[in-house]
């Protein structure tokens, strides 16, 4: 169930053809993937420290998100590559991207602190970093998180044997403890969640909210755009959160979940209109 950078590159063209409204977003993302592919060759191997096994009963993941062993130097370099490439495009925020590139090149500790604040999910600190370079915090956070994905891919391969994704069944990732950003039903009808940070996929009960654990069918539901069967928003009336889901029983060539997230922005809007967030 792993999703590698080269797998993603292979399906971007097909996806852009199927969903022309997302062509620009996919094209930008392809540029990021190409930079990641080049830079990740140099990434340091992570040391397989003497970690306790994840604990299924208590839900303790293999790593605490804040203490993930990330090669920040390589991730900063990738982030600088993103800034350089994107700042040369006609984007409205190109000045902010150029400011960020300069910061990364002149103050290496700035990049490390930025990446760490994304791991810490410290929204105030992220807003402060964004203010310093005149970028939107959400965009900066997305790019910083994406810059760490080659490191996450390495972590996933290095520690695949230490987690048991088929039997985890918690609403957070067995590897890093983060929340899911997407879900899917496989052709056999099993549900998997996809980690928003490290990309691990793990099995989760078919009925139930991954965010608050609510399993009362009366308090759960889903929305599905008429013109697009198989792409749904599953929501929870208890915590008012939602998870975008693709149903592989209804979609012939389902995209990797990380790309599905990019081409389902309209599902986020549907959820938002229905007051889920």
Q: Are 210 and 171 in contact (CB under 8 A)?
A: yes
Question: Most distant CA pair in the chain: distance in Å?
Answer: 55
**Contact residue for Zn ion among 239, 251, 262, 274 (CB under 5 A):** 239
Q: In whole angstroms, what is the distance from residue 254 CA to residue 249 CA?
A: 9
Q: Are 153 and 4 in contact (CB under 8 A)?
A: yes
Q: Are 244 and 232 in contact (CB under 8 A)?
A: yes
Nearer to Zn ion, 130 or 197 (CB): 197
How far is Cα of residue 77 from the mean position of the Cα atoms in its chain? 19
**Contact residue for Zn ion among 238, 248, 251, 268 (CB under 5 A):** 238
At residue 235, the 3 state secondary structure works out as: strand
Nearer to Zn ion, 34 or 181 (CB): 181
Smallest gap from residue 244 Cβ to Zn ion (A): 15
**Contact residue for Zn ion among 40, 76, 100, 200 (CB under 5 A):** 200
Nearer to Zn ion, 52 or 90 (CB): 52
What's the burial of 158, exposed, middle or buried (CB within 10 Å: 0-12/13-18/19+)? middle
Q: Are 191 and 204 in contact (CB under 8 A)?
A: yes
Q: Is 8 near Zn ion (CB under 5 A)?
A: no
Q: Which stretch binds Zn ion (CB under 5 A): 135-143, 175-183, 185-193, 255-263?
A: 175-183
Q: Is 212 near Zn ion (CB under 5 A)?
A: yes
Smallest gap from residue 17 Cβ to Zn ion (A): 31
Nearer to Zn ion, 130 or 267 (CB): 267
**Interface ranges with Zn ion (CB under 5 A):** 173, 175-176, 178, 195, 197-198, 200, 209, 211-212, 214, 236, 238-239
């Amino acid at each position: 169930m792993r999703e590698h950078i080269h797998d993603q590159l292979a399906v971007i063209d097909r996806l852009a053809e199927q969903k022309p409204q997302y062509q620009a977003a996919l094209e930008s993302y392809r540029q990021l993937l190409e930079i990641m592919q080049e830079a990740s060759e140099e990434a340091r191997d992570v040391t397989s420290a003497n970690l306790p096994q994840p604990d299924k009963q208590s839900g303790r993941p293999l790593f605490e998100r804040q203490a993930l062993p990330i090669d920040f130097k390589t991730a900063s370099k990738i982030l600088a590559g993103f800034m350089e490439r994107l700042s040369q495009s006609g984007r409205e925020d190109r000045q902010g991207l150029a400011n960020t590139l300069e910061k990364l090149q002149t103050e290496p500790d700035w990049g490390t602190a930025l990446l760490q604040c994304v791991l810490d999910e410290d929204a105030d600190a992220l807003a402060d970093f964004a203010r310093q370079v005149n970028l939107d915090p959400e965009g900066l956070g997305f790019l910083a998180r994406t810059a760490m994905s080659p490191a996450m891919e390495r972590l996933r391969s290095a520690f695949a044997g230490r987690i048991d994704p088929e039997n985890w069944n918690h609403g957070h990732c067995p590897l890093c403890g983060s929340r899911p950003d997407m879900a899917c039903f496989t052709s056999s009808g099993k549900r998997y969640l996809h980690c928003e940070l490290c990309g691990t996929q793990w099995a989760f009960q078919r009925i139930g909210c991954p965010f608050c654990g609510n399993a009362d069918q009366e308090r759960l539901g889903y929305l599905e755009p008429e013109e697009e069967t198989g792409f749904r928003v599953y929501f929870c009336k208890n915590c008012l959160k939602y998870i975008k889901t693709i149903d592989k029983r209804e979609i012939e060539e389902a995209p990797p979940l990380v790309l599905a997230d990019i081409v389902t922005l309209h599902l986020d809007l549907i959820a938002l209109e229905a007051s889920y967030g």
